Homo-oligomer: A and B are copies of this chain.
Amino acid sequence: MAQRPIVEFWYDFASTYSYLTAMRIERAADTAGIGLLWRPFLLGPIFAAQGWTTSPFNIFPGKGRYMWRDLEREAARLRIPFCRPKPFPQNSLLGARVALVGSDRGWAPRFTRLVFTEEFGNGRDIGETAVIADILSGLGLDAAAVLSEAVSDPTKLRLRRIGEEAQARGVFGAPTLITEDGEMFWGNDRLERALDWATDDRTRRADVPV
Q: What are the residues of chain B within 8 A of A171 when measuring CB–CB?
A: 62
Contact between B65 and A170, CB atoms less than 8 A apart: yes
Contact between B189 and A63, CB atoms less than 8 A apart: no
Interface size class of A (residues with CB under 8 A): 35 or more
Contact between B206 and A24, CB atoms less than 8 A apart: yes
Name the contact of A24 in the complex, choosing from B23, B60, B173, B208 (C-beta under 8 A). B208
Contact between B79 and A205, CB atoms less than 8 A apart: yes
Contact between A189 and B186, CB atoms less than 8 A apart: no
Q: What are the residues of chain B within 8 A of A192 when measuring CB–CB?
A: 207-208
CB of A78 within 8 Å of the partner chain: yes
CB of A164 within 8 Å of the partner chain: no
Which residues 23-73 of A sit at the B interface, judged by CB distance below 8 A? Answer: 23-24, 27-28, 31, 50, 60, 62-63, 65-66, 69-70, 73
Q: Which residue of B lies closest to A170 (CB)?
A: B62
How distant is A27 from chain B, measured CB to nearest CB, in Å? Answer: 6
How distant is A30 from chain B, measured CB to nearest CB, in Å? Answer: 10
- Report the bound CA distance from A184 to B62 in whole Å: 12
CB pairs A–B below 8 angstroms (19 shown): A23-B210, A27-B210, A28-B208, A31-B208, A50-B60, A50-B62, A62-B170, A63-B173, A66-B170, A70-B186, A73-B193, A77-B204, A78-B205, A78-B206, A78-B209, A79-B209, A80-B210, A189-B189, A191-B208
Task: Contacts A28-B208, A63-B172 known; list 8 others, CB within 8 Å.
Answer: A28-B207, A62-B170, A62-B172, A65-B170, A70-B185, A79-B209, A80-B210, A187-B189
